Amino acid sequence: MGADQVSELYPLRAANVAARVFDGEVIVMNPADSSLFNLNETGTAIWQAADGTTSLREIVEREICGVSEIDSDTALADAEEFARALAGHGILLLRTEPA
Amino acid sequence: MIVTIGGLAVRIATDDPVFLGILRQQYAAFTGAETDGAPIVLEVELTPPLLQSPDEDLAVRFDGEAWEMRRGDFMARYDPKTRRGQVRQSANRHSIDSVIRIIHSLELARAGSGFLLHAASAVRNGKAFVFSGVSGAGKTTLSRLAPPDVCLLTDEVSYVRKGDGGPDCGRKSGYQAFGTPFAGELGKAGENIHAPLGALYFLEQASGNRIGQLGRAEALRMLLRNILFFAQDPKLVEQVFAIAEDFIETVPVCRLSFRPEALVWELIR
């Protein structure tokens, strides 16, 4: 799973989940199974920027690389893994084209 | 027979004398007069035991008109508009107890007024205290250690909802805790009383007794993890989220680290 593939992903928050930002972290509940997720600072930044029109690469460059010293390839790979994990739980949609 | 918990009355319609006897024993302190005025009516059809596999998981779904509830030992349907439902189960207390809990959790979520919580609760000095945690956290242990001036509301499932503004509603938060017949390991129904909620504690067994504050995010996360909620419904999940958020903004939520000894109750006043 490389950075080229990551750059084509446009994450979008699932419409049917309930989420709140509390003290800088997002708490998400999926009504399908009442499962609960809490995202750390980086995850929260990705979640909040996941509007379906911004690519994951743009999100990573703006929200992660812009505020930390992590290299962009590593950050992108980590972000994709994170986004796919959320998508697997049905709380984030991953599109290959902008909405 | 009418069973009233948290101010919400449910009429359980059955003519079966054996089942009525089970209900009277189960809900003794929570039964009211047999009238037609109860807002929720459950018609119970008794069947032979084990309609389905006893291991079947609970499923609660809204079909556009009514809630369908299914588990290995019962099938039920409840229409929130007419406030009527039908239950198919054998003559046992566990199935009807589950149906009643589910209906209460749905009605509380629908009204956005409260929730059922995996928690023990008790009243002391006119204030209610709720003690939440997973199995083994110490809910029943703490209940067993309660001194004589403490009235136990439940050792397993607490009933929390906003007051109606009456004179005995929560003075500050507006939330109240109600007694429930839902018993855990203690095997004893709670007192049928209610009181303004003083605090919610998340239990943690430790080498000493201490109360520590929780951050808002942690409090919300722990509260949501312990709310009893069964429905796969985005609107109701949003309602549960909203009431949990309101709750942690208005009620003190702390961590109670405790040793299993009666002295811990010195902290609860």
Q: Are the C-beta atoms of A26 and A49 separated by less than 8 Å?
A: no
**What confidence score (pLDDT) does residue B244 get?**
94
Q: Looking at the domain assignment, is residue A33 inside a domain?
A: yes
Instruction: For residue A97, tell me if it sits in a domain.
Output: no
Predicted confidence band of residue B38 (pLDDT cuts 50, 70, 90): low
Chain B interface includes A93 (CB < 8 A): no
What is the rounded distance in angstroms from the CA atom of residue A56 to the CA atom of residue B90? Answer: 54
Q: Is the model's pLDDT at B265 over the cut of 60? A: yes
pLDDT for position B49:
80
Q: What range does the domain containing A33 cover?
A: 3-90
pLDDT-derived band at A69 (thresholds 50, 70, 90) equals: confident
Can you tell me whether residue B193 is helix, strand or coil? coil
- What ipTM was reported for this prediction? 0.73
Distance from CA of B215 to the nearest CA of A (A): 8
Task: Flag if A34 and B236 touch (Cβ within 8 Å).
Answer: no
Tell me if B191 sits within 8 A of B152, measured CB to CB: yes
What is the model's pLDDT at position B74?
A: 94
Contact list in A for residue B234 (CB cut-off 8 A) is 16-18, 31
Report yes or no on A52 lying in a domain: yes
- Cβ distance A29 to B224 less than 8 Å, yes or no, reads yes
**Any domain includes A84:** yes
Q: Quick check: A12 contacting B, CB < 8 Å?
A: no
pLDDT band at B269 (very low <50, low <70, confident <90, very high): confident
pLDDT of residue B156: 92
Rounded mean pLDDT of B13-19? Answer: 95
Pairing type for strands B210-213 and B74-79 reads unpaired
Confidence at residue A6, expressed as pLDDT on a 0 to 100 scale: 44
Cβ(B154)–Cβ(B183) under 8 Å?
Answer: yes
- How close A39 gets to chain B, by Cα (Å)? 11
A-B CB pairs within 8 A amount to 45
Please tell me if residue A29 touches chain B, with a CB cutoff of 8 Å: yes
Residues from chain B that touch A24, judged by Cβ atoms under 8 A, are: 217
Residue at A95 is within a domain: no
Q: For residue A1, is pLDDT > 50?
A: no
What pLDDT, on the 0 to 100 scale, is given for residue B131?
A: 97
Residue of A nearest to B215 (CA): A23
Give the closest residue to B101 by CA, choosing from B129, B135, B78: B78
Nearest to B245 among A20, A25, A34 (CB): A20
Q: Residue length, chain A?
A: 99
Nearest to A87, CA basis, from A42, A46, A26: A46
pLDDT digit string, tens, across residues B145-159: 999 999 999 999 999
Q: What is the pLDDT of residues B223-259, one digit of tens each?
A: 999 999 887 788 888 999 999 999 999 999 999 999 9
* For residues B151-170, average pLDDT: 77
**E strands, B125-223, where?**
127-132, 151-154, 157-162, 175-178, 194-205, 210-213
Q: Are B260 and B206 in contact (CB under 8 A)?
A: no
pLDDT tens track for B81-114:
999 999 999 999 999 999 999 999 999 999 999 9
Average pLDDT over chain B, rounded to whole? 90
Domain count for chain A, please give it.
1
CATH number of the domain bearing residue A48: 1.10.10
> Is residue B219 over pLDDT 90?
yes
The domains of chain B are located at: 2-111, 114-267
Partners of residue A16 in chain B, C-beta under 8 Å: 234
Coil, strand, or helix at residue B265? helix
